[in-house]
A = this chain, B = another copy of it.
Amino acid sequence: MRQSLARELSNLIERGRDRQLRLAVTGLSRAGKTAFLTSLVYQLRHAGLEARLDLLPAAREGRLLGAQRVAQQDLGVPRFPFDEAMLALDDSPPRWPEPTRGISELRLHIRYRPQRGGLLGGLGRDSATLTLDLFDYPGEWLLDLPLLDHDYLSWSTGQQTSLSPERRTLASGWLDAVADLDPAAAADEGELARIAQHYAEALRAAREAGFADLQPGRFLLPGDLDGAPVLQFFPLPGLDVDDRQRLETLPEDSVYHTLARRFAYYQQHIVRPFYQEHFRRFDRQIVLVDVLGALNAGPERFEDLSRALATLMQSFDYGKRSLISRLFSPRIDRLAIAATKADHVTPEQHVNLVSLLEALLGEPLKDLRFADIPVKAFSLASIRATRAHEVEHQGKHAPALRGTTQDGEETLVFPGEVPVRLPRSDFWTRQGFAFHAFRPLSREARGDGLPHIRMDAALDWLIGDKLT
């Protein structure tokens, strides 16, 4: 009896020693993934020293001893370039780190002292280690999930109807090129490659113009697949789902069947492997959203971001989607969503920013709650670029921000109010909001550490329970 108790205790200690958490960070491009991960690593590494993490109990109680980067598990995945990111921030003038492309990975050992009354603390252990695997991947990859619910015909017809007037203008080169393509004609490889290039250019132009709802995601970051037929398909205008029977009888080498084969290959060899090899192994996830950027870009982009986020969040809502749950059964047990760049509005607006984020994700959040996945919304600044000021103007006190623009000019700005709900048309006509892009604080200006807003709150939600 005593022996079995000893064995149980030993198992418990072992499990404690081996504790491991896989935390994934995603967001659409320019949402701030690289800055978030850089700050996360920095803050944990400097816990108890320069890093201020008062909202993370283990840090506040002096039990967090720091973190060290160690060898990652999957040698075939690029390492998250933390050193390069810090070099950019420490440069003069300071620069934002280069955005990552594709997936990257980093493993941290976090040392901490368990709570006295806690399970491990009670065992008299001085310190414990949490192994934190961090993953960073483009949110655009999650936008490809709905592709799996389609075959080529249904996807093709769906894509047609979703083009807004401005997106149609940006895609005019492709629309011209595809107009005369006959689905029944024998496929000409060169012609399909040319039209596909127009399609990829239309997607890139839309991204440049601030749109987020872009499919297929890999067309924007082809990597080693550049020039491969799998990235050379596109929707066929004028198709109707009622044409299915007629289309199915077309010859195997027709334009229609050639594009359909490529679509199926993309599903099988690009979309599925990401879910199977990576996504379903994440324990926790944070989704970063550049709400302020979209607010600044006007109603059409804001609408588009809302649609893209709804699509993206479906990946986490596996309860409802039997196809996905059967295929991938992800094990994410906690989700955070965060509006980034909160330092670009004055502090009293942060509450509004969280409300707006929750409004933007209204439907997906309801689904997640129904699926019983704990989710929490934040506003944060991974790496602070401004300082809050108060300005007296005609006898009134007004909140303002001081920061350095990308051109190197030190400015004082009044960004205005963040709407607390999804903005109605009069918000856009009033143009009540002006977003400025600032560069990071210089080493001198930021002092010790890497100032942030609520990184500690996000950390507490994402890993705090593992540090007790």
Mask of A164-208 contacts with B, CB within 8 angstroms, 1/0: 000000000000000000000001011001000000000000000
Query: How many copies of the chain does the oligomer comprise?
Result: 2
Which residues 196-239 of A have a CB within 8 angstroms of B?
223-230
* Residue from B81, B228, B261 within 8 A of A76 (CB atoms): B228
Contacts of A69 in B (CB 8 A): 189-190
B226 touches A78 (CB 8 A): yes
Contacts of A81 in B (CB 8 A): 227
B265 touches A75 (CB 8 A): yes
* Residue from B76, B190, B226, B258 within 8 A of A225 (CB atoms): B76
Main secondary structure of the interface of A (DSSP, over half): mixed
Distance, CA A291 to CA B140, complexed state (A) = 47
A83 touches B225 (CB 8 A): no
B189 touches A71 (CB 8 A): yes
Q: Please give the distance in Å from A204's CB to the nearest CB on chain B.
A: 19
Contacts of A258 in B (CB 8 A): 71
Contacts of A261 in B (CB 8 A): 75
* Residue from B187, B224, B230, B269 within 8 A of A224 (CB atoms): B224
Is A9 in contact with chain B by the CB < 8 A criterion?
A: no
Distance, CA A83 to CA B188, complexed state (A) = 12
Q: Please give the distance in Å from A216's CB to the nearest CB on chain B.
A: 14
Which residues 278-329 of A have a CB within 8 angstroms of B?
none
Q: Please give the distance in Å from A9's CB to the nearest CB on chain B.
A: 26
B227 touches A262 (CB 8 A): no
Is A151 in contact with chain B by the CB < 8 A criterion?
A: no
Contacts of A229 in B (CB 8 A): 71-72, 75, 79
Mask of A45-59 contacts with B, CB within 8 angstroms, 1/0: 000000000000000
B227 touches A75 (CB 8 A): no
Is A104 in contact with chain B by the CB < 8 A criterion?
A: yes
Which residues 224-264 of A have a CB within 8 angstroms of B?
224-230, 253, 258, 261-262
Which chain B residue has the least Cβ–Cβ distance from A80?
B227
Which chain B residue has the least Cβ–Cβ distance from A189?
B69
Is A437 in contact with chain B by the CB < 8 A criterion?
A: no
Q: Please give the distance in Å from A253's CB to the nearest CB on chain B.
A: 7
Q: Please give the distance in Å from A118's CB to the nearest CB on chain B.
A: 28
Known contacts A190-B83, A224-B102: A230-B71 contact under CB 8 Å: no
Distance, CA A70 to CA B252, complexed state (A) = 12
